[in-house]
Structure 1
Amino acid sequence: MQTLNVTRSVLVSSLAGWRGAMVMRRARRQPEQPLQLYEFEACPYCRLLREALTELDLDVLVYPCPKGGTRFRPQAEALGGKAQFPLLVDPNTGTVLYESADIIEYLARTYDGRVRGARGVMREIKLASSSLASAAGAGRGLMARPSKPAAQPLELYSFESSPYSRLVRERLCELELPYLLHNMGKGAKTDIGPPIVRDRWFKAEKGTSRNRRALLERTARVQVPYLIDPNTGVEMFESADILAYLNQTYAA
């Protein structure tokens, strides 16, 4: 089953053009307080924003709002006035904003980054591929599943196009578990490829972006996904192990 899920996730990344892999237009400033994002994993508009967050090298506190969810959907509607996603809340400026293109441009402008293709023909192409990717996702990260709440948000080191990280994000979304997403996009071409190639054969530099350096300092490894659960003290690599842990700890 894990092999089938990974294959499906690779297809999703391929249809989305593997966007959200590299830190391409890094924001020169980081928010003092975490950005807050209400979204759900299967939403094609939300995917466009998550791709930009990886490329801008910005972290975000995710409040998953899958369909049928009761934990954060009402909260999002109360904040913005309607059940539409993605919804960004920036506590640093008091901004509450809908529409993925508007949010992407706002983030680039506010935190001194650059964006490309947020509007126009390029956006339409991106949206079409993102919609195909959502269809290939077979409904994962779309509907809420019964779960126990987490007292504190979890933390996840991930980047948008990582097939293994997507499996974890889908489950966090379905279980309505909030998490601080540490985007660790690839900072150099030498980051491309599996860790065994990058680290053992090429001996390439590991800490090529902000969160890659942070994870390297914390674990002496650069590999995604990496989950931190402050509620239990658990920290772990490997998507299959993380999924089993989330099911055992939080699935009702």
Structure 2
Amino acid sequence: MKVIRWVLGRVILLLNCVFSPKSLTRNDEEQKKIDEAMRQLQLYQFDACPFCVKVRRAAKRLNLPLKTRDAKQSQWEQELINGGGKRKVPCLRIENKNGDIEWMYESDDIIRYLEQRFS
């Protein structure tokens, strides 16, 4: 089973690389504001997870410099478990202006959030 998952993961990464989406273009001032806002977001993910790839593709399409954290690394895994409550990816960590932190799971919810906030 692990071998099948590994092979499928590599196929997903290859297809993602070959068929990478085009990024949205913005003027410099708009992009600067978005880049600043994106500093408050981190995506906890696994490289070959199909749902994580889906979120990363949406971020690329929206031209969002989304910082990713590999949840297989112990420090990020522990941060995800302590903050979000479970080891599940993809998970978007959102730091609000008032300092509160929200943990959003589910790829469709994350994509919807990114589209509503940055489209």
| TM-score greater than 0.5 by the shorter chain | yes
Aligned to 2:68, the other structure's residue is in SS state strand
Q: Which moved more, 1:176-185 or 1:142-151?
A: 142-151
Contact 1:158–1:184 under 8 Å retained in 2: yes
- In structure 2, relative to structure 1, the CA distance for the partners of 1:226 and 1:246 (3 Å cut) is same
- Give distance in 1, aligned partners of 2:55 and 2:61: 10
User: 1:142-177: per-residue Cα shift (whole Å, max 9, x none)?
Assistant: 301256642232211011001111111111111111
1:249 corresponds in structure 2 to 117
Unaligned runs of 5+ in 2: 1-6
2:3 corresponds in structure 1 to none
2:85 corresponds in structure 1 to 220
Unaligned runs of 5+ in 1: 1-12, 19-46, 48-129, 188-208
Structure (1 or 2) with the greater helix fraction? 2
TM-score normalised to structure 2 length: 0.69
Q: Does 2:44 correspond to 1:157?
A: yes
Q: Does 2:75 correspond to 1:210?
A: yes
Deviation, 1:179, is 2.3
Quick one: which of 125, 144, 157 aligns to 2:23? 144
Give the AA of the match of 2:112.
A
Deviation, 1:15, is 6.5
Deviation, 1:231, is 5.4
1:93 corresponds in structure 2 to none
Bigger Rg, structure 1 or 2: 1
Aligned to 1:229, the other structure's residue is in SS state strand
1:179 corresponds in structure 2 to 66
TM-score normalised to structure 1 length: 0.35
